[in-house]
Amino acid sequence: MTKIKNIIFDLGGVIINLDIQQTIKAFNQLSAFPFESIYTQLQQSKLFDLFDRGEITEKIFFEELQKVLGSSISNDKLVNAWNAMLLDFPLNRLNLLKKLQPNYRLFLLSNTNETHITAFEKSLFEQHGYKNLEPFFEKVYYSCRIGLRKPDSEIFEFVLRNNGLNAQETLFIDDTLQHIEGAKNLEINAKLISKNEEVGVLLKKMNLV
């Protein structure tokens, strides 16, 4: 493997703890509609893809969700259920990023949406006093703000091209297999982080920290 000079991190399940089942459970408590039939980590309906790419507004997203669920639910309850998957930012992971900064170019690449960004930035500030994740990375890329989404090759090409990165000198870490495969198609060194595996442990195994 060529010497790694750049590391691209996914957010959910890598930097922030995430539990998608909490959102599925929350929606199933609000409605008889089986939410897992339209949303899981491995697969989701077009509505969520549109929201992740910023092609629809928060207002339209929650209006469409209301129609799908087939019951009258307040917007606040919908937002709370949607955000239920977002857990905490472990301090050791933020410290790891700070430790890596002098030796690597660090980037964040996340499939996310404006509702989640508002929620996890609030959580980050309450837990650690940071208004956003920008202090930890050279650049932060959110799918909803660049109109591109993993695992499509275009999003990886965008990050590589925008920053003059050599794919073979770049490591990508994600917790979703299809995203890893998308990165590998461009010859990026991609590693799948398994459930309950710490990103710091993964990097130590690779002798990168």
What is the tally of structural domains in the chain?
A: 2
d(CA 100, CA 103): 6
- Single-letter residue type at 201: V
* CATH classification of the domain holding 108: 3.40.50.1000
Chain length of the chain: 209
What average pLDDT does the structure give for the chain? 95
Contacts of 89 (CB under 8 A, 6+ apart): 15, 16, 17, 120, 123, 124, 127, 128
The pLDDT of residue 45 is 83
* CATH classification of the domain holding 27: 1.10.150
Q: Is residue 1 part of a domain?
A: no
Do both 12 and 114 map to the same domain? yes
State the pLDDT confidence band at 42, using cuts at 50, 70 and 90: low
Do both 105 and 51 map to the same domain? no
Do both 36 and 54 map to the same domain? yes
Do both 188 and 124 map to the same domain? yes
Tell me which residue of 70, 160, 72, 65 sits closest to 109, measured CA to CA.
Answer: 160
Domain that holds residue 24: 20-83
Do both 41 and 118 map to the same domain? no
Do both 73 and 131 map to the same domain? no
Q: What average pLDDT score do residues 62-83 get?
A: 92
pTM over 0.75? The answer is yes
CB atoms within 10 A of CB 8: 26
Q: Is residue 168 part of a domain?
A: yes
Q: What average pLDDT score do residues 106-116 get?
A: 98
d(CA 43, CA 178): 10
Which of 35, 67, 83 is a domain's end point? 83
Do both 102 and 151 map to the same domain? yes
Do both 99 and 186 map to the same domain? yes
Q: Is residue 33 part of a domain?
A: yes
d(CA 121, CA 33): 30
Q: What average pLDDT score do residues 158-187 get?
A: 97
Cα→Cα distances 58→54, 64, 89, 105, 148, Å: 9, 10, 24, 32, 17
Do both 33 and 100 map to the same domain? no
**pLDDT at residue 2 greater than cutoff 90:** no
**pLDDT at residue 148 greater than cutoff 90:** yes
Lowest mean pLDDT among 69-73, 86-90, 131-135, 141-145: 69-73
Which of 83, 110, 133 is a domain's end point? 83
Cα→Cα distances 158→55, 109, 167, 208, Å: 18, 11, 12, 25
The pLDDT of residue 63 is 94
**pLDDT at residue 196 greater than cutoff 90:** no
